[in-house]
Amino acid sequence: MDVTSILAEWTPYLIGGISLTLGLVAIALGIGVALGLPFALVQVYGPRPAKAAISAYAWFFRGLPVLVLLFLFYFGIFPAMGLDLPAFFVGAVVLGLRGAAYQSQIFRGAIQSINEGQMIAALSLGMTRLTAIKSIILPQSLRIALPGWSNEYPEILTDSAICYAIGVAELLTRTSQIVAVTYVTMPIYLCCALIFILLNYAGMRVIHVVEKRVAIPGFGAGAG
């Protein structure tokens, strides 16, 4: 059987792997933003104990390889908590928690790049700190953070392949299973690599379009 016939036969199976891979990426990015942004705000505006806790969190998740984190949570932390979670969910959560550690630093840097005088001016006008953050600081800092944050997509996309180690049937796992059945190695793995490249390119193009639409000419990412 030639490679074309093999790919035609196994295409639906690969598409299923692509769907799971994109699902991992989407959930992980969502968790990363949902946690990373509040963590960044705490690091900039929070009390010292909270800042220390967030710094410890970031140090932990940035200091360990993804594979180690997957094993810790899948075989240790979640079972110890009495949770019997599907491998897909564990993979998405671990990628998201790790992404939050990196994204918190991206957002923190963007927030700190806003002139402190803007907060002082907002408070002098009678705004609460929360209102000033929501209405003045965040709209600017999120635009500044977007170019750096966009790097999280390819990072999580490539890291998602490591989830094969806990049994998630994502793209790489399914590719390996096809190779095991057909005994065709290099062409199948090259096809997998091409799919990852295309997913990476497509996602970055979408992010680039969003970045251009929200950019303010002459400000931050829109400067120049």
Could you read off the pLDDT of 129-188 as tens digits, one per residue? 888 888 888 888 888 898 889 899 999 999 999 999 999 999 999 999 999 998 888 989
| Superfamily for the 3-222 domain | MetI-like (1.10.3720.10)
Q: Where are the domains of the chain?
A: 3-222
- What confidence score (pLDDT) does residue 32 get? 95
pLDDT recorded at residue 103: 95
* pTM for the model: 0.89
- Residue-wise pLDDT tens digits, 184-206: 889 899 999 999 999 999 999 99
> Is 66 in contact with 94 (CB distance < 8 Å)?
yes
At 86, is the pLDDT very low, low, confident or very high (cuts 50, 70, 90)?
very high
DSSP collapsed to 3 states, the chain: CCHHHHHHHHHHHHHHHHHHHHHHHHHHHHHHHHHHHHHHHHHHHCCHHHHHHHHHHHHHHHHCCHHHHHHHHHHHHHHHCCCCCCHHHHHHHHHHHHHHHHHHHHHHHHHHCCCHHHHHHHHHCCCCHHHHHHHHHHHHHHHHHHHHHCCHHHHHHHHHHHHHHHCCCCHHHHHHHHHHHHCCCHHHHHHHHHHHHHHHHHHHHHHHHHHHHHCECCEHHHCC
Give the range among 6-15, 76-85, 212-221 with minimum mean pLDDT: 212-221
What pLDDT does residue 130 have? 87
Residues 6 or more apart whose Cβ sits within 8 Å of residue 169? 16, 17, 20
pLDDT at residue 221 tops 50: no
What does the pLDDT look like over 27-81, one tens digit per residue?
999 999 999 999 999 999 999 999 999 999 999 999 999 999 999 999 999 999 9
What band does 115 get if pLDDT is binned at 50, 70 and 90?
confident
- Which of the four pLDDT bands, split at 50, 70 and 90, describes residue 119? confident
More confident call, 214 vs 210? 210
